[in-house]
């Protein structure tokens, strides 16, 4: 099934070792206008998602699978530089799992018991947020240079002191957002919106996005320090957010 305009709403990848659940979910998604590709485990899903020919706008990922756990799948995707939005769909309800998923870079965490209508709404929110984040980017900007930092938005490539820094798309967007506002204090919410789109909410409570931002900044700092041990351009503004230090 397609939407009223005759178009597929989005390409969704479903990863779950429960065949009955996965097939039922795939059928519901297809009836709702999505194109769906399903996998019974983490290994085949990784093979697909790390291929340059993969077609995916959103990944629905189970946690407990016999070959590779969902959190390991997410970790490997991020290590490969894949920035697909991932929603965990699981029977695990303890907050520790939700926090681990969000720290790992997932955009949301939904218990299977919540029902398809809730999942559908969460998916729509995530897809709308990603679309908004892309549309907010300037189209005519070729390069941003601040001190030792060089960014190419059209290619999502970053260099520090002339050396490449391996950032995921989400990490690149955070650096780009802060660099454009070098010397300004940038709120947690603004940084999160730069990646997920304005108004998107994920995590425990209205402030759950802060965990994602802190973890992302930690990864970004580590990657820049792998290139330059003395890297200190990202400064904390306690209780508020961060700033990219202006050149002195």
Q: What is the pLDDT along the chain (248 residues), one digit of tens a residue?
A: 344 444 567 889 999 999 999 999 999 999 999 989 999 999 999 999 888 677 788 999 999 898 899 999 998 887 776 778 889 988 887 778 887 887 777 878 888 888 898 889 888 877 876 665 555 555 545 788 888 999 988 667 889 999 988 877 678 888 999 999 999 999 988 888 776 665 555 544 455 677 778 888 988 999 999 999 999 999 998 778 999 998 74
Top-level class of domain 11-135: alpha beta
Structure tokens at 179: 């660099």
Q: How confident is the model at residue 3, as a pLDDT? A: 46
The burial of 230, by beta-carbon neighbours within 10 Å (0-12 exposed, 13-18 middle, 19 or more buried), is given as exposed
pTM for the whole thing? 0.58
Q: What's the CA gap between 9 and 216, in Å, rounded?
A: 29
Q: What is the DSSP string of 134-187?
A: HHTS-SS---EEETTEEEETTTTEEEETTEEE---HHHHHHHHHHHHTTTS-EE
Are 179 and 144 within 8 A, CB to CB?
yes
Are 14 and 44 within 8 A, CB to CB?
no
What is the sign of the dihedral through the CA atoms of 84, 87, 91 and 93? positive
Q: What is the DSSP string of 210-238?
A: HHHHHHHHHHHHHHHHHH-TT---EEEET
Q: How confident is the model at residue 2, as a pLDDT? A: 42
Task: Give the full edge-to-edge strand order of the sheet including 11-15.
Answer: 35-39, 11-15, 58-61, 86-90, 108-111
Are 188 and 209 within 8 A, CB to CB?
yes
Radius of gyration of the chain (CA): 19
What are the residue ranges spanned by the domains of the chain? Answer: 11-135, 144-244
Top-level class of domain 144-244: mainly alpha
């Amino acid at each position: 099934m397609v939407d009223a305009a005759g178009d597929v709403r989005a390409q969704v990848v479903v990863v779950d070792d429960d065949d009955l659940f996965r097939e039922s979910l795939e059928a519901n998604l297809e009836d709702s206008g999505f194109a769906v590709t399903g996998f019974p485990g983490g290994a085949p899903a990784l093979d697909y998602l790390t291929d340059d020919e993969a077609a995916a706008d959103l990944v629905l990922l189970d946690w407990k699978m016999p070959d590779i756990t969902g959190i390991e799948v997410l970790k490997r995707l991020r290590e490969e530089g894949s920035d697909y939005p991932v929603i965990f769909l699981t029977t695990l309800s303890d907050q520790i799992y939700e926090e681990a998923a969000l720290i790992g870079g997932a955009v949301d965490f939904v218990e299977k018991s919540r029902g398809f209508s809730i999942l559908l709404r969460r998916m729509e929110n995530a897809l709308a947020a990603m679309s908004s984040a892309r549309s907010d980017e300037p189209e005519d900007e070729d390069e941003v240079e601040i001190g030792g930092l060089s960014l190419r938005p059209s290619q999502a490539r970053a260099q520090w002191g002339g050396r490449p820094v391996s950032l995921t798309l989400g990490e690149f967007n955070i650096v780009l957002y802060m660099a454009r506002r070098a010397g300004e204090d940038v709120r947690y919410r603004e940084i999160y919106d730069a990646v997920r789109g304005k108004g998107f909410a994920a995590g425990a409570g209205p402030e759950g996005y802060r965990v994602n931002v802190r973890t992302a900044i930690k990864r970004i700092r580590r990657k820049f320090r792998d290139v330059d041990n003395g890297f200190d351009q990202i400064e904390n503004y306690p209780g508020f957010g961060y700033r990219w230090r202006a050149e002195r």
